Chains A and B, each alone.
Chain A
Amino acid sequence: MSKRIIEQNAETLIFELSDQNRRSSSLAPDIDVNDACNNLPEHLQRKKKLQLPQVGELQVVRHYTRLSQKNFSIDTHFYPLGSCTMKYNPRVCNTLAQLPGFTARHPMAHSSMSQGVMSCLFDLQTLLMEATGMKQVSLTPMAGAQGEFAGIAMIRAYHDHNKELQPDKEPERSEIIVPDAAHGTNPATAVMCGYKVKEIPTNDQGDIDIDALEKIIGPQTAGIMLTNPSTLGVFERKIKLIADMIHKAGGLLYYDGANLNAILGKVKPGDMGFDVIHMNLHKTFSTPHGGGGPGSGPIGVSERLQPFVPVPIVGHNEQGYYWITEKELPLSIGRLSAWMGNVGILLRAYIYALLLGRNGMVRVADFATLNANYLLKRLMAANFEMAFPERRASHEFILTLRKEAKEYGTTAMDFAKRLLDYGYHAPTTYFPLLVPECFLIEPTETESRDDLDAFVETLIKIRDEAEQSPNLLKDAPFELPVRRLDDVKAARELDLNFYYSKC
């Protein structure tokens, strides 16, 4: 669609297409509403009529189809958003997960009518256990952050249980250690579980500062949360040492699996010494991110946390598949969703895993790493500065634009916005916070070399623009449905609801 037409429709909201007298729907049952309402007590009925839009079916389809065209997505653009693993979401995963037998199943359907989906979930548990080296997997967490919650809640349940058994021996454990480069969900999760957060610094090689860690560990340590490879795009080489230090102090290790794509089939978090992990299936197992979810964040645990896993999980015996609940696992931290988490997403991940197989999983890490290191070397050759030039990139790496910021007055955000003009989604910007003017770049394994080359050429071109006409960056984007948005106004003059102040 041409830019002009998109622009024409820029401000139209679905509500502005509505006329409350329009009746065009074949989608609702034919019924006298007032008649049915006679069955409801008068005083509990709605007084003020709803104001949902009344729009024809075609107009609804057209409105949202046009809106979709204002998005960048994996299907339409290179999307090297670091830490988010924006790789191809195979269509077949969606098609098969939407088979009527799967979509029509009520979560409380009798287990005799559920053996199909339960067998898929059981197999997925097994696959994920093997891929991560953990003793048990629970699929219920609905995103990475909820997996984190489950993990830290289990760590807490474990310590509380030990304290109950040995009230004199077991210290009061109140702290979770988190590296300064950690994702924001890590400290937020620790606090939701009633812990204090202790930050530790990273050294100039991108590894954890072992001396600082040594000083901070003590009997008050409940555990540590780590991402490996870290959010700095490098593998934490001293992971075994760190695991030993934490375990010696009686703490446990939490693995944030956001970067699992880098090591699938190469190393298992269980072998690194982690006690509990979460996986972001919407990253590593290529389920769609849908413009902000649904995600899926299954957790895996080592033996010592097995009694505490969130329920339900799927079990199997001679009679078939069955739900394992709090009856079998009385020490479970409990339930995190009404039923079994985001089952439709779990199915998509399962289908993806079947398509890849173990041979395909190893290739994921191989080519994600190949693409990242290739991109890194090409950008270095073009004189871009890397945060950790001495290190191997994992599946992602950090580029810093501090030199460009100083010389041309163009920030990483300006580069990001100009990339949009050239049809590239921007990498992750300003995360992790410790590297100034940074891009966290993750190409993923599904991008071709040609696309990587074109991306390099574009960054070079934009740097030339920064030198010659920096306003091309500072005022970018020019080619998108809107130009840069006023975030300050958005927060000061809150407009979050079309109807507010209108009714």
Chain B
Amino acid sequence: MPYIPHTPNEVEEMLRVIGAESIDDLFDEIPQELRIDLEKSTGLNAIPLGKSEMAVQRQLSEKAMLDGTPLCFAGGGAYEHHIPAALWEVATRGEFYSAYTPYQAEASQGTLQVIYEFQSMIANLTAMDVSNASLYDGASGLAEAVLMAVRANRKAKSKRILMPESVSPVYRQVVETIVKNQGITLELIAIDQTTGTINQEHAQQQLHNDETFAALVIPQPNYFGSLEEVHQLTDWAHKQGGLVIAQVNPTALALLEAPGNWGENGADIAVGEAQPLGIPLSSGGPYIGFIACKQKLVRQLPGRIVGRTVDLDDKPGFTLTLQAREQHIRRSKATSNICTNQGLMATAVTLYLSFLGTDGLQKVAASCVANTQKLITLLEKSPEIKFPFGKTVFHEFVVQLDVSVDSVLERLAEEDIVGGINLSAQQVAGQSVDANKNQLLICVTETKTEEELRFFSETLIAICSEISSLSNSEGELS
């Protein structure tokens, strides 16, 4: 029997010890009328019979082959980077892979030390004082940051959050879903249509009657790849009595100013998606949210936190700490309901940052910037391709096409290319502008060679003119 080691003899002896006739007797406290009748159609018929490992392997290999390994130029919160071969070899060692949350500290020093190192690295990347052990992903992490800011900013006594349009639309949706039942409102701040960045004047106007707000969210780089004026914005928000939530890409932090050093006093909370640090794209998960903050806010952090302490012999060791914030102690008064987080992913991130080091991460980031500029230069050759938000970007940029982005992406898919993200398909509730027509968000990382960049730009330009001449001739016919 798969994964069950019992012999028939053992089962018999065990039943004798229990004093039961059959295994079925062990379920005699379940009311008979509730029991599944396997003979009936209401049984489990929709579930096939078990298969051998070999059969399942064949089935899954076929499915995986269907999706292939296309050339990918999509980002939008999920980024393709090179992953060191040793990383997942080490991370999936059974001792990491098949351990539970480190409740028994003495038997979990491996996991606990890894998380302490993870927290240290995230704090260093963001220039914050403390980090937690991880959250589910970047989007739900931003929701936790919003809840945290509302709790922490007691002075403001406000449940308003200023949420710029330059934050990923899916992130905004997720935040809305998670915080709306607590009376928190997200107020959309429009972007400047020439830069794709937060329009500070519009933010100012939102403050009619000098109302306060709990926090301003500042994405860096933002959803469109553009760079926000983080220093100015941070100082402005602080002057108005709001906290600043920095939503950042960790790869970019190798080169871009860290949230802790934004403006005069730095952002208060830094949050983001750490998937770029060693985690494959894998359809969007499992990824890993990170959250870090100033020391004075540490008791408002959600989720697990690992601390270094000593044992009975005064030897250093690690343990879960500040648990009085958490659901298993505080129950209905906990800072969050989170329990299981993304431990294995935190292990992967820690390994990634250790393998690459400062030098390696800077080079990855620099290569992203350089490759992105190369593709921009190649695409500039086509008069049909415009850059509505400019070219000062990290590793993503928006292009405006003359033709339907959907058709372009479909054609690119035929060439085995994931061409980017259609911004017009991402209209979500609350979007204030409708200017995203025919806009495509393109991402380039260090993984792309010169040939691939040339191939992509030529294919994209060719497909655009193909579609445009096609629709022109269709227009003439009708």
Contact = CB atoms under 8 A, between A and B. Distances in A.
A231 to B, nearest CB: 12
B282 interface: yes
Interface stretch (B152-160, B308-316, B380-388, B463-471): B308-316
Interface stretch (A102-110, A165-173, A208-216, A404-412): A102-110
A499 B60 contact: no
B241 interface: no
B341 A293 contact: yes
A129 B46 contact: yes
B469 to A, nearest CB: 23
B127 A106 contact: no
Given A53-B354, A288-B97, A490-B308, A340 B283 contact: yes
Contacts of B256: 40, 44-46
A454 interface: no
B255 to A, nearest CB: 6
Given A61-B90, A64-B90, A360-B50, A31 B367 contact: yes
Interface in A249-275: 263, 265-268, 271-272
A391 B29 CA distance: 8
Contacts of B61: 96, 99
Interface in A178-202: 183-185, 187-194, 197
Given A40-B255, A101-B69, A335-B174, A487 B319 contact: yes
A44 to B, nearest CB: 5
Interface string B336-375: 1111111111110011011111111111111101100100
A247 interface: no
B307 A494 contact: yes
Contacts of B129: 497, 500
B64 A100 contact: yes
A370 interface: yes
Contacts of B282: 102-103, 105, 343-344
Interface stretch (B206-214, B298-306, B451-459): B298-306
Nearest to B312: A483
A356 B50 contact: yes
B96 A295 contact: no
A263 B340 contact: no
Interface string B4-40: 1110001101110111100100111111001110100
Contacts of B367: 28-29, 31, 36
28 contacts: A13-B113, A43-B231, A57-B84, A67-B109, A89-B97, A106-B74, A106-B80, A108-B76, A108-B421, A115-B66, A127-B47, A130-B45, A184-B331, A292-B346, A293-B286, A335-B173, A336-B140, A341-B284, A353-B47, A358-B50, A359-B50, A373-B26, A378-B17, A417-B104, A449-B14, A486-B312, A489-B310, A499-B120
Interface stretch (A142-150, A298-306, A460-468): A142-150
Contacts of B359: 23, 25, 28, 54
Question: Which residue of B90, B346, B412 has the most chain A CB atoms within 10 A of its CB atom?
Answer: B90
Given A90-B3, A355-B56, A373-B18, A485 B309 contact: yes
Contact of A51 (B231, B358, B410, B418): B358
Nearest to A27: B84
A243 B335 CA distance: 31
Contact of A68 (B90, B255, B341, B409): B90
B311 A485 contact: yes
Contact of A445 (B3, B49, B84, B227): B3
B249 interface: no
A63 interface: yes
A440 to B, nearest CB: 12
Interface string A320-355: 000000000000011111111111110000010111
Given A96-B64, A106-B80, A294-B341, 9 more contacts: A40-B256, A67-B109, A99-B61, A99-B64, A184-B334, A333-B177, A356-B50, A445-B4, A480-B107
A245 interface: no
Question: Which residue of A113, A153, A356 has the most chain B CB atoms within 10 A of its CB atom?
Answer: A113
A448 interface: yes
B97 A73 contact: yes
A257 to B, nearest CB: 13
A143 to B, nearest CB: 4
Interface string A133-148: 0000000001111101
B174 A184 contact: no
A74 B309 contact: no
A25 B340 contact: no
Contact of A481 (B106, B134, B138): B106
Contact of B3 (A87, A117, A237): A87
A355 B282 CA distance: 22
Contacts of B178: 149, 192, 336
A343 B29 contact: no
A366 B23 CA distance: 6
Given A44-B257, A71-B111, A485-B319, A15 B96 contact: no
B183 interface: yes
A102 B282 CA distance: 6
Nearest to B328: A184
A369 interface: yes
B352 to A, nearest CB: 9
Q: How large is the interface on B (under 10, 10 to 19, 20 to 34, 35 or more residues)?
A: 35 or more
B307 A240 contact: no
Given A185-B339, A356-B50, A370-B11, A50 B362 contact: yes
Q: Give the 9 A-B CB pairs with smallest separation, nearest first.
A: A290-B344, A339-B284, A75-B94, A292-B343, A357-B50, A101-B64, A107-B284, A334-B177, A116-B66
B264 interface: no
Given A70-B109, A100-B69, A343-B284, A425 B104 contact: yes
Q: How large is the interface on A (under 10, 10 to 19, 20 to 34, 35 or more residues)?
A: 35 or more
Interface string B380-421: 000000000000101000000000000001101110101001
Contact of A130 (B23, B44, B51): B44
A133 B139 CA distance: 31
Interface string A53-89: 1110100110111011111111111010100101111
Contact of A369 (B27, B109, B114, B329): B27
Contact of B108 (A72, A265, A342, A363): A72
B337 A188 contact: yes
B343 A73 contact: no
B131 to A, nearest CB: 7
B265 to A, nearest CB: 15
A126 B46 contact: yes
B130 interface: yes
A197 B362 CA distance: 49
A374 interface: yes
A31 B324 CA distance: 47
Given A27-B82, A338-B139, A485 B46 contact: no
A73 B94 contact: yes
Interface string A116-128: 1101100000110
A338 B171 contact: yes
Contacts of A220: none
B111 A105 contact: no
B135 to A, nearest CB: 9
A310 interface: yes
A64 B351 contact: yes
A357 B359 CA distance: 49
B320 to A, nearest CB: 8
Contacts of A5: none
B240 interface: no
A106 B309 contact: no
A137 to B, nearest CB: 12
A328 to B, nearest CB: 15
B381 to A, nearest CB: 19
Question: Which residue of A340, A344, A493 has the most chain B CB atoms within 10 A of its CB atom?
Answer: A344
A357 B104 contact: no
A1 B45 CA distance: 49
Contacts of B31: 237, 239-240
